[in-house]
Amino acid sequence: MKTTIHFPKPIIKSNRPLAILPQEEYESLLETFEVLNDQKLLRRIESALSNLRKSEFFTHDEVFHSKPR
């Protein structure tokens, strides 16, 4: 899926710059802020990226069908 970025259109109102964003992009921006403010989630993402760089993967069965250790 290709992502298209639409840059906001600046508007000046009452000597303060405002921007108009499409609803979908606004919601995406809020979601990004939520992720960036969740330190536990950021650590998990970093760990996953580190595993990816080291070619350490789990199979589908290991993730969803393994018995508890």
Question: What tens digit of pLDDT does each residue of 32-66 get?
Answer: 999 999 999 999 999 999 999 999 888 888 888 86
Taking the C-alpha atoms of residue 57 and residue 69, their distance in angstroms, rounded to an integer, is 18
pTM: 0.55
Q: Which uninterrupted H or E stretch holds 33? A: helix 23-36
Q: Rounded to 5 degrees, what angle do the CA atoms 39, 41, 46 make?
A: 95
Q: Which residue has the tokens 């600046």?
A: 10
Indicate the pLDDT class of residue 6, thresholds 50, 70 and 90. low
